[in-house]
Amino acid sequence: MSTNNRIALSSDHAAIPLRQAIAAHIAAKGFEVVDIGPTTSESTHYPKHGAAAAKLVAAGDCRLGIILCGTGQGIMMAANKVKGIRCGVCSDTFSARMIRQHNDANMLSLGARVVGEGLALEIVDAFLSAEFEGGRHATRVEMISALEG
C-alpha cells in the first residue's frame, strides 16, 4: 500500500452527520482524514465540495477520497469532471470492493439519504480495504483515462 494514507472527505449539507461518522470511523482505523467540510448545515452546492475533494486526490495530496450528498449522485458527477478521478456511487459492499479491484476507483460517493450509517461504514471499509487488481483491468482503466483527452 502507498505510504500516503490520507483520505479526502467532503459532502454537501445533506450528509454532514454521516460524513462526520465516517471521519471518526476511519480515523480510528489509522487513516489520516482530510475533512474539508462543510461544518454547518446551511444549504450549499455539492459541485464545489465534490470538486474540492477530487482536486486533493487528483493532485496526490490524498490517496483516496470519500464524498457524500443526499443521493451521492450529484457530487459524484462533479468529482468525475476532475481529470484523473474515477468515482462511483455505492449502496452495497460488493460494488465498493469491485470499483477498487476492477475500476481502480480513487473516490467513493455515498448517498446519506439512501444508506444508513451502519451500511455506509461497511461500504467505506470495503472500499478502503480493496486494492486494484491490474492486469486486464488496467487496459480498461487506461481506456477510461484516454477519454479525458
State the residues that interact with ligand RB5 by CB under 6 A.
12, 14, 46, 69-71, 73-74
CB of 12 to ligand RB5, least distance (A): 5
Query: CB-based contacts of 149: which residues, under 8 Å, 6+ apart?
Result: none
Between 49 and 63, CB nearer to ligand RB5: 49
Query: CB-based contacts of 142: which residues, under 8 Å, 6+ apart?
Result: none
CB of 15 to ligand RB5, least distance (A): 7
Active site residues: 69, 102
When CB distances to ligand RB5 are compared, the closest residue is 74
Between 14 and 85, CB nearer to ligand RB5: 14
CB of 8 to ligand RB5, least distance (A): 18
Determine contact, residues 123/81, Cβ cutoff 8 Å: no
Count of positions (residues) in the chain? 149
Name the DSSP letter for residue 28: H
Name the DSSP letter for residue 11: E
